[in-house]
């Protein structure tokens, strides 16, 4: 028997003008204790979904349930949810300790208990000793930790985060991603996290809901999302791809597509495109196998020429021309991927192999 979800969206829709649906027919279960990210481009409906869950927006239709009970009409302060925003929303005239204690003050928690919980929350986010400082005396990363401590201090059953790391520099953002994930593991509290950064979502989440045009395109574990995207949008939005255009030769799950110059690629027909349909084959750059020299031949092998070599520090990124008007194929090569030989150079003739198990074909 499946456990009852902590939160359930049932056919939730949201429109601001009565015509355009920002969120359409949303059915979503959020499990207890999971880290769920809502991922998508600007205007996809992810933030609106979070705001409806928080109570700052009301659904136009449908129902939101918490522990099986409707909360659609419950005001935000009665939902017992912690919130963390991108702009931190700290009170500049209050000390760190007073900022963190604010939710407890509102809830009329006794002073002694407030002090105990504030210290515990600051310890969680590694800000011991900062109680008396003002927010203006802290770095951006420290301010974000204060905002997180404030969201956790009253022991909410759900913590909602709206792009909380967006204002931080890259190195600090990546560090905070790992800290947030560690904190989630320690606490076991349910986290719902909005982001447009697919790397961030993959790093931290147990599951990811990919939004586009008000609809969840795919809800999956991070490895499922990356390795088996369910449609062309998800394949393009999550991670890098080499994309080849052609025409589907025949239907069926395991199929083949013909490139404009007559060469044939075999792959998995995702979405059941019909024979003759215009399609695109997508494959992750790290799955493309590089054969140096033009002699290699076999299934799913295409002759190509290295157009450009880009050094990324931990790997080389090769852009390879496969001809016939196709976009350059991208190959991700470990620094030792040349097997001791010199790294590939621009202009070098190579053969690219697209393993059938990782070539996914989508209707164009």
In this predicted structure, the answer to whether residue 275 has a pLDDT above a threshold of 60 is yes
Domain end, chosen from 199, 232, 265, is at: 232
Residue 65: its pLDDT value, please? 96
CATH number of residue 154's parent domain: 3.40.50.300
In this predicted structure, the answer to whether residue 249 has a pLDDT above a threshold of 50 is yes
Residue 91: its pLDDT value, please? 92
Q: What does the alpha-carbon distance between residue 238 and residue 267 come to, in Å, rounded to a whole number?
A: 20
130/27 same-domain check: yes
Percent of the chain with pLDDT over 70: 97
95/117 same-domain check: yes
Domain end, chosen from 232, 256, 286, is at: 232
Residue 2 in any domain: the answer is no
150/255 same-domain check: no
Read off the pLDDT of residues 28-69 as tens digits, 9 standing for 90 and up.
Answer: 999 999 999 999 999 999 999 999 999 999 999 999 999 999
Residue 1 in any domain: the answer is no
Q: Could you give the dihedral angle defined by the CA atoms of residues 327, 328, 334 and 335, in that order, rounded to the nearest 10 degrees?
A: -150
324/253 same-domain check: yes
Give the number of domains in the chain: 2
**What is the rounded average pLDDT of the residues 317-326?**
90
Domain region containing 50: 7-232
Whole-model pTM: value is 0.90
94/206 same-domain check: yes
227/256 same-domain check: no
Residue 339: its pLDDT value, please? 55
Residue 126 in any domain: the answer is yes
Residue 164: its pLDDT value, please? 87
221/247 same-domain check: no
Read off the pLDDT of residues 196-227 as tens digits, 9 standing for 90 and up.
Answer: 999 999 999 999 999 999 999 999 999 999 99
Read off the pLDDT of residues 93-137 as tens digits, 9 standing for 90 and up.
Answer: 999 999 999 999 988 999 999 999 999 999 988 898 899 999 999
Read off the pLDDT of residues 79-101 as tens digits, 9 standing for 90 and up.
Answer: 989 999 888 789 999 999 999 99
Angle at the Cα of 137 from the Cα atoms of 136 and 139, rounded to 5 degrees: 90
111/166 same-domain check: yes
Residue 146 in any domain: the answer is yes
300/191 same-domain check: no
Work out the pLDDT band at 354, boundaries 50, 70, 90.
Answer: very high
Minimal CA–CA distance to 142: which of 163, 162, 122? 122
CATH number of residue 274's parent domain: 2.40.50.140
Read off the pLDDT of residues 256-267 as tens digits, 9 standing for 90 and up.
Answer: 999 998 889 999
Domain end, chosen from 212, 232, 252, is at: 232
213/281 same-domain check: no
250/144 same-domain check: no
279/316 same-domain check: yes
């Amino acid at each position: 028997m499946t456990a009852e979800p902590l939160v359930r969206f049932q056919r939730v829709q949201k429109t601001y003008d009565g015509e355009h649906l920002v969120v359409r027919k949303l059915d979503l279960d959020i499990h207890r204790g999971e880290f769920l990210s809502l991922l998508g481009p600007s205007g996809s409906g992810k933030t609106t979904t979070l705001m409806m869950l928080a109570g700052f927006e009301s659904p136009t239709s449908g129902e939101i349930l918490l522990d099986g009970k409707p909360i659609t009409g419950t005001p935000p302060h009665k939902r017992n949810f912690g919130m963390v925003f991108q702009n931190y929303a700290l009170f500049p005239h209050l000390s760190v300790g007073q900022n963190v204690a604010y939710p407890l003050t509102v809830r009329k928690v006794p002073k002694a208990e407030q002090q105990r919980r504030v210290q515990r929350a600051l310890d969680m986010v590694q800000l011991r000793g900062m109680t008396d400082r003002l927010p203006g005396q802290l770095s951006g990363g420290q301010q974000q930790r204060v905002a997180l401590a404030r969201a956790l201090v009253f022991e909410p059953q759900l913590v909602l985060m709206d792009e909380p790391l967006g204002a931080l520099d890259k190195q600090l953002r990546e560090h905070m991603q790992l800290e947030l994930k560690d904190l989630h593991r320690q606490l076991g509290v349910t986290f719902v996290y909005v982001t447009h950064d697919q790397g961030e979502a993959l790093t931290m989440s147990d599951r990811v809901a990919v939004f586009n045009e008000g609809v969840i395109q795919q809800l999956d574990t991070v490895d499922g999302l990356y390795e088996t995207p369910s449609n062309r949008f998800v394949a393009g939005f999550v991670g890098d791809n080499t994309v080849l255009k052609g025409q589907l030769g025949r239907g069926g799950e395991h199929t083949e597509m013909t490139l404009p110059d007559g060469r044939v690629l075999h792959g998995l027909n995702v979405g059941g495109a019909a024979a003759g349909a215009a399609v695109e084959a997508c494959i992750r750059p790290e799955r493309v196998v590089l054969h140096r020299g033009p002699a290699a031949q076999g299934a799913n092998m295409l002759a190509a020429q290295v157009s450009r070599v880009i050094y990324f520090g931990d790997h080389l990124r090769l852009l390879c021309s496969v001809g016939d008007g196709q976009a350059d194929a991208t190959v991700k090569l470990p620094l030792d991927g040349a097997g001791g030989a010199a790294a590939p150079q621009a202009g070098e003739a190579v053969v690219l192999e697209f393993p059938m198990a990782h070539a996914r074909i989508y209707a164009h």
